[in-house]
Amino acid sequence: MRSGYTVTYQMRKQKRQKRQMIGGYILTFVGVVLLAFLIIRFVCFSYTIQGDSMNPTMEKGDKHLVNRLIYHIKSPSRYDVILFKLKNEKDANYYVKRVVALPGETVQVKDGNVYVNGKKIKMFSKEKVLSPGLAGNKITLKKGQYFVLGDNYNNSEDSRSASIGNVKKNNIIGKVSIKYWPWG
* End-to-end CA separation in angstroms for the chain: 67
Instruction: Tell me the CA distances in angstroms from 154 to 64, 89, 106, 112, 141, one per residue in order.
Output: 23, 24, 21, 10, 22
For residue 120, indicate whether it is catalytic.
no
For residue 177, indicate whether it is catalytic.
no
Is the CB of residue 156 less than 8 Å from the CB of residue 72? Answer: no
**Catalytic residue (choose from 15, 97, 120, 126):** 97
Q: From CA 54, how far away is CA 58, in angstroms rounded?
A: 5
Instruction: Tell me the CA distances in angstroms from 54 to 75, 98, 155, 158, one per residue in order.
Output: 22, 8, 9, 11
**Catalytic residue (choose from 3, 13, 15, 53):** 53
Those residues with Cβ within 8 angstroms of residue 71's Cβ, 6 or more apart along the chain or in another chain? 169, 172, 174, 175
- Please give the positions annotated as active site: 53, 97
